[in-house]
Structure 1
Amino acid sequence: MMIQEKPAWTMNGFLGILLIAGLLVVTILNLIQQQFIIGITCLVVAITLGSGITLVQPNQSQVVIFLGKYMGSIRREGIVVTVPFSIRKTISLRVRNFNSNRLKVNDVNGNPIEIAAVIVFKVVDSAKAVFDVDRYEQFVEIQSETAIRAVATKYPYDTFSDAELTLRGNAEEVSNELTKELQARLNVAGVQVIETRLTHLAYSTEIAQAMLQRQQASAIIAARKQIVEGAVGMVQDAIHQLESNGAMELDDERRVAMANNLLVSIVSDHGTTPVVNTGSLYQ
């Protein structure tokens, strides 16, 4: 059965201390006057109230348990008097974070990758954190690793097109998906996930070199394609300008030769060395 947090019975702590002090004074006076029944009764009441004195720090909650039954939680900071002879467990409501271990998983394409994330969370239901899970902090860590694995297997590490989401290229979307996945797992523990961020993402060492070569090859191909497309446009413009100005008339053979020479000059990785034709020796 799921337990929901509820407020426990409390009384102002300072008022409780004054009441206890008054009962102790009455106890002493009655014992001096040998009125033992009244004195002992007042002493028992004072001890009973004193056992319920609780100090609550800011951003902490005290879970009150009496005879194995959940009596409620105290969130009001300061000193209070609550259920006598009860057990109080302190639960921090402060924002906390931790870095997950580096996990080795396979992405959606089956490539082994290393991934890690930072998880920012806080407890919003102290009753669930105490009663619905065993050691909620460890529960958060284990479920975080499970969520990271689940999200990592949904996306590729990287692609060479913009057609789909990737772990490397869409960090914001992946973080949002990880937050939703983890929050669904931690609702049972009364924990709110504030933020998740990937802190480490890389190919595993056994394929890192091969994937680096693949990325380099793809970058070279993309650059070459852009250079060739630009060179073709430049050659077309150059030939069209020469012919339209009447500077020269080119037949098909010379047009092809000029286009070839211009393309070689533009596309070449190294500076070209021009060859000047000054005519034949026997002309």
Structure 2
Amino acid sequence: MSNGWSNDFSDINNLNKTLGGNSQADKNQKKDDGRFIDIFYPHNHTARIEQLFVMETTSKDPLPKNLVTASERNEFIEIGFRYGFKEGAIMVLLFLVFVIVQFATTMKVPSQDTSAITNGLLLSSLVSLAYGVAYSIHITKYDVGILTSKTINSLLAGRFAVVAIIMLSVGWALWALQTYVYSDPSAILKWAVAVVPSKEGGGYDIAATGFSFVMIPFGGSFPVTEWSVAYSLTVLIPELFSSWWLLSIIAMVSVIAPIVIAAIHKKTSSISEGRAQTELDNY
């Protein structure tokens, strides 16, 4: 009696059940948020992709297309959206920290130097490349057939959608801000007057105390005037928009590249499989 796996369709069904399948009960038991590491990496959904990869590369019988259901595809889109949102949020928050640092240092020592924003651009881009592309390219090697394509493309589409929304929305807001400010040369000074409270106003002492506390990492408190705020905005706004534009390009490339790589890998696998079958038939 043989205990080997014959690779027929019944064994595929058994494998599907053994490795987790796509039943609702299995999904309720296996979620990508049970451990700390799962916050940054969807282990269980990656395992599902690997399972489908094994099925498609070892099965001798054609696999039904509906083995991956519409509900499961939507779940992978949600997973991609979730992890894409984390990626975008990390990029935005990291970039924002460097913008605040640049704004504070420029108010303290008026200068055209915007190296803090440049550093924020580089580190935010690194987050997109290291966090997003590393995982996405990892799963593209499993794109060999219809089933793996359904799950992988759904996950990558979810990531693409949310990163595009975040980058374009923030970019549009910065563009609108820059357009508004430079439509009126005095707009920046008006903003500065509105932002910096008057010493006669009741909120001045509260704002000054809070600002002094925030400025501790930058060498302690220093005088803030309407002119220092206006100067900082004049220096920062153009640099902020151009830097975000570059970051957006890098982020969009990082979400499009895995999709292209997956398509190329699938095409290559199909050609290799066809060549191997032709050689077997001619043997």
TM over 0.5: no
Q: Could you say which structure has the greater relative contact order, defined with CA pairs below 8 angstroms and 6 or more residues apart?
A: 2
Structure having the larger proportion of residues in strand: 1
- TM bucket (normalised to shorter chain) is under 0.3
TM-score of the superposed pair, with normalisation by structure 1? 0.28
Structure having the larger proportion of residues in helix: 2
